[in-house]
Amino acid sequence: MGVVAYLLFFFAGLGFGYAALGRWKWLPVGFPIFLWIGAVLVNGVEATVVLRLILALAVTVGGILLGMLLDSRQEGGTAAEAG
């Protein structure tokens, strides 16, 4: 799996973490899990596939947390400007 796949997971996490409300922010965590299930059904469980899943989940969660951080900074900035 190339770097592009991990970038897509990161940007999905970033977008949802920034724009989604409440628990919907965590929806992108399911993307790599569903793709992993498909790969396991076709190829079986291998150590490399499990490691790639862990990396994909870490990248996705990192994107979500960064998106949440950016969202909280923007909300704080607009509240300070309005006050």
The per-residue pLDDT for range 24-68, each reduced to its tens digit, is 999 999 999 999 999 999 999 999 999 999 999 999 999 999 999
pLDDT at site 83: 47
What integer pLDDT is reported at residue 8 of this predicted model? 95
Number of folded domains that form the chain: 1
Among residues 35, 31, 26, 33, which one has the least CA distance to residue 61?
Answer: 26
Predicted confidence at residue 76, as pLDDT, reads 66
- With CA atoms as reference, report the closest residue to 66 among 9, 13, 30, 28: 13
The range of the structural domain enclosing residue 16 comes to 3-73
Does residue 54 fall inside a structural domain?
yes
User: Would you say residue 78 lies in a domain?
Assistant: no
pLDDT for residue 7: 95
Q: What is the pLDDT of residue 74?
A: 77
> What integer pLDDT is reported at residue 78 of this predicted model?
55
